[in-house]
Amino acid sequence: MSLTTPPRPFDVTALFPQLAPLARTATRLHPRPGAPTMHDSSVGGPLLWPADEPWPHCDGPHDRHAAPVAYSPDDVRVLRHDLAAATERLRLDPEAPEVAPEERENWERIKVGRPWFDGPIPLLPLAQLYARDIPFIRPPEADLLQVLWCPFEHEEAAHPRTALFWRSSATATDVLDAPPEPPIVQSVYYLPEPCLFSPEQVTDYPHPRELSKELQSQLDDERRWEAIDPALFNTYADDPGELYLKNLCTAPGWKTGGWTRWGVTDPVARPCPECGTEAVPLLTIASSEWDSASATWIPEEDGATTPPPPDDPDGNFTKIDIVGGYDLQLHLCPASPNHPHIELVQ
C-alpha cells in the first residue's frame, strides 16, 4: 500500500530562508507487516542470496549472561503469534479469556529457555533494498543492498553488529532457499518481524545542533514563530526550537538518506575509517516510526487502514528495539560505498 506523510505544519523555509539550501531528500520506508519474498524490498524477509555464496556467521564472542533466558527464533515467532491472537480475541469479545490453554502451554514451554550455544552464529536478514524501489548510495555495479546482523550485543557496542552486502540482482540466478538460522537470539527485539516497505520521499533539514550558532539562536527566538498557527506554536511556547526539532527537520522512522537524527550526543564527525571522507546517512534502523512528540509525522493512512500495534502506539511494526527505543543509523562513505560503514546509535 501507499503511505503518505502529512505536509509539514508550515513551510519552515518561509520563516528561516537559510534552511532552504540545506534541504536533503530522505526516503521514509514505512515498513508494515506482510509476507515479503526474496524479490521484494523488505525488513526481515528472505534474501536473494546466491546458493554458492557462504552464509555469513558471527564468531563472537557472545555473552551467555547478557540475557536471563535465551529463545530460539521460532520461540519468538510463537510468542508474537499468540500475543496477536489474544489481542484479536479480546478485541472481538472483551469477555474472552486473556490467555487460551494452548497459549499458556506455549509460554510454559518457552519460558524455560534454550541451551546456550557457543559456536558461530548465523546472521539474521535485517533488510533488503532494491534500487528500483528505494534510492540509496551504492556501488555502480550494484542494484541491491542486503543488511544482516548478529542478534547479540558485542563488547564494542550495546546493539547487534551489522554487515552490508552489495550485489547485482541479475547475477543471482541460483538462489539459496533455506539459509541457516541462529539457534538462539539474545533478545526478542533482535528478530525482525517480516515487513514490506512503502517508500516515500520527504524533505529533511539538519538537526538544530548542526546549524550555525546564529541560526540556532533564531530558532529559539519566540518572536520568529509568531506568524504560525498559535495553537501549534503555543504547544512549544517555552521552547520553540522543539517545534523545529520534533516536527520540521529530520523525519523519524526507517529511512534512507536525509540528515542524521542526533539526540544521545552532540553531532560528531564520522570520517570513513579507510579514506577519511565524511560519511553520510545510508539507512536508519528505527525502534519506532513516531513518538508522542512527533505525531505530525504519522502517515495519513495510519489509524484508518493500518493502525499501529495495540501494544506499541509508536508504530513499532518491525518489533525491533535498539537500546530501549533509539535508532541505529548506518553511515557510508560517499567516495566508495565499498569502504567500511559506520554504526551510530542516537
Torsion sign (Cα): 335, 337, 340, 341:
positive
Strands annotated E in 269-311: 280-285
> Hunting for cell 540466478 — which residue is that?
173
User: pLDDT band at 315, cuts 50/70/90?
Assistant: confident
Q: Please say if the pLDDT value at position 42 is more than 70.
A: yes
pTM of the model: 0.93
| pLDDT tens readout for residues 24-34 | 999 999 999 99
Q: Please say if the pLDDT value at position 183 is more than 60.
A: yes
Q: What percent of the chain has pLDDT over 90?
A: 79
Q: Once rounded to an integer, what is the mean pLDDT over residues 219-226?
A: 86
Q: Once rounded to an integer, what is the mean pLDDT over residues 132-156?
A: 94
Q: Please say if the pLDDT value at position 177 is more than 80.
A: yes
User: pLDDT band at 308, cuts 50/70/90?
Assistant: low
pLDDT the model gives residue 311: 53
What is the β-pairing status of strands 124-130 and 42-43? antiparallel
How deeply is 164 buried, as exposed, middle or buried, from its count of CB atoms within 10 A (0-12, 13-18, 19+)?
A: middle
pLDDT the model gives residue 76: 98
pLDDT the model gives residue 157: 79
| pLDDT tens readout for residues 190-199 | 999 999 999 9
What is the Cα–Cα distance from 99 to 270, expressed in whole angstroms?
A: 49
pLDDT the model gives residue 147: 98
Q: Once rounded to an integer, what is the mean pLDDT over residues 130-152?
A: 96
- Identify the DSSP state of 262: -
Lowest mean pLDDT among 58-62, 123-127, 164-168: 58-62
Q: Once rounded to an integer, what is the mean pLDDT over residues 46-54?
A: 97
User: Which residues, other chains included, contact 10 with Cβ-Cβ below 8 Å and sequence gap of 6+?
Assistant: 228, 229, 232
Q: Once rounded to an integer, what is the mean pLDDT over residues 10-33?
A: 95
pLDDT the model gives residue 96: 96
User: pLDDT band at 225, cuts 50/70/90?
Assistant: confident
pLDDT the model gives residue 88: 94
Q: Please say if the pLDDT value at position 250 is more than 90.
A: yes
Q: What are phi and psi of 25, to 5 degrees?
A: -85, 130
| pLDDT tens readout for residues 251-305 | 999 999 999 999 888 999 999 999 999 999 999 999 999 887 788 899 998 865 5
